[in-house]
Structure 1
């Protein structure tokens, strides 16, 4: 989270404020800095630091605390928005692309959303069009009956009564232009309809 109105800095920005190169910063000052100044909550790749805390550390003053109260203008990561909305981080990113959520702000190579936008998403109904989560019905979906089955059932009945030729997978495969295995399945289904 980047608190509202508080600039955030990467480690390279911190090194520039200290007047040294990033490699010199990492070699000489990084350990003492990270012991005194914590990265902003939720920041990762790159780690971000509060500019006021960085400036206080660089001038040798006590590091001021971050604001404790949430502000509507705070910038949140996808994971933090997910915690506010009750969604997953991937759903937050997908909603931003599809327009269900504010597109956010690009800062430091990643996307951020205001707390106001995150809270507005919590009141919006979901756009889920599939099965209702937690549904108890396990009824399989109905499929249209195979139009070949009545023909095969009557052919089997005629063959059994001695009034027609024997129904074999090879004859059905040739008649319906299907594989022999599919013809075997059709015969098995037809037999279940006759019994």
Structure 2
């Protein structure tokens, strides 16, 4: 959390490295910020991009007492993705959907390359979450009227206002196709069920669905989607570990890894590599393991393998379904002739 008034004194890892006079490649490997006595990051525990308070770090480097941060809890405190999700009461993966909705559009601030939200914005969002902001009607023959990246948040608002809302009602209120409404309604309900089961595993899935107001007619499909969502969340730490190994090897930058499921429920993941890596990105598919992807922007949607990457493909294919991150990094570097 960035305390109110401290936004202009935030340092990234590269800022810390520069202040220490360290080479970036060495700093990234040694990680001196993990040493005892180094000021803790102001980013949330488990954040992929670490941020520090510059005043604290400078005092530590100068051998002076490290001053305390201003007290937390003010309306202008800035919360990152993990903290915002906790404040609102959802899992981070669900927050990724909510933050794209109309109520939160344009409210974030990017500090140190990381998106943050003021505490007062989150409080206002929680208070008004059950009151949907919705257009009505879809002109005949027109395409979906709501941008795709906002749909999940808008559907979540509808569900908050009416848990038993139907796909037909969603299609009419959001001015989207019935098939689009059906898919997003199932996905959003599944995420809510997964959130509840993650928070309290002692719940029976069917009881959670009933508690959330999932209609009996769609409960089975929602529970199947929730099981897939939970499996994807369970896979994320493994993918995160592979991404960390690739980053440590200089083959990728810090990033939020992509884990999803295909239409048939098969789990898939992707890690985008650095510009100078042998391939643009790597994808992982359940039952197949890691393979190179043809693009960085939408690696999971790309088909086929990049040209002239037979070495990477062969090395990755020789690995197990879930190899260690160091093995994946070695396959990419070895194929590029870096060993």
Q: TM-score range by the shorter chain?
A: 0.5 to 0.7
Following superposition, the deviation at residue 61 of structure 1 comes to: 0.3
Does structure 2 retain, via aligned residues, the 8 Å contact 1:72–1:114? yes
Once the two structures are superposed, the pairs formed by residues 131-170 of structure 1 within 5 Å of their partners are 131=164, 134=211, 140=217
Instruction: Please identify the structure whose Cα radius of gyration is greater.
Output: 1
Does structure 1 retain, via aligned residues, the 8 Å contact 2:3–2:71? no
Structure 1 residues 66 and 102: alpha-carbon distance in aligned structure 2, compared to 1, 3 A threshold: farther
Following superposition, the deviation at residue 76 of structure 1 comes to: 0.4
1:84 matches 2:97: no
Q: 2:117 aligns to what SS in structure 1? A: strand
Q: 1:57 aligns to what SS in structure 2? A: helix
Structure number with higher relative contact order (C-alpha < 8 Å, ≥ 6 residues apart): 1
Partner Cα separation in structure 2 for residue 139 and residue 33 of structure 1: 54
Q: Which residue of 1 aligns with 2:42?
A: 40
Q: Which residue of 2 aligns with 1:107?
A: 111
1:66 matches 2:83: no
Structure 1 residues 32 and 62: alpha-carbon distance in aligned structure 2, compared to 1, 3 A threshold: farther
Q: 2:129 aligns to what SS in structure 1? A: coil
Q: 1:17 aligns with which of 16, 19, 23?
A: 19
Q: Which residue of 1 aligns with 2:5?
A: 5
Partner Cα separation in structure 1 for residue 40 and residue 115 of structure 2: 21
Partner Cα separation in structure 2 for residue 54 and residue 99 of structure 1: 38
Structure 1 residues 69 and 17: alpha-carbon distance in aligned structure 2, compared to 1, 3 A threshold: same
Structure 1 unmatched ranges of 5 or more: 142-195
The size of the alignment, in residue pairs, is 141
Higher mean Cα deviation, 96-105 or 59-68? 96-105
Does structure 2 retain, via aligned residues, the 8 Å contact 1:33–1:57? no
Q: Root-mean-square deviation (CA), in Å? A: 3.0
Structure 2 unmatched ranges of 5 or more: 131-156, 166-209, 219-339
Partner Cα separation in structure 1 for residue 34 and residue 12 of structure 2: 16
Structure 1 residues 89 and 74: alpha-carbon distance in aligned structure 2, compared to 1, 3 A threshold: same
Partner Cα separation in structure 2 for residue 56 and residue 38 of structure 1: 13
Moved over 3 A (4+): 23-29, 31-35, 135-141
Q: Which residue of 2 aligns with 1:122?
A: 126
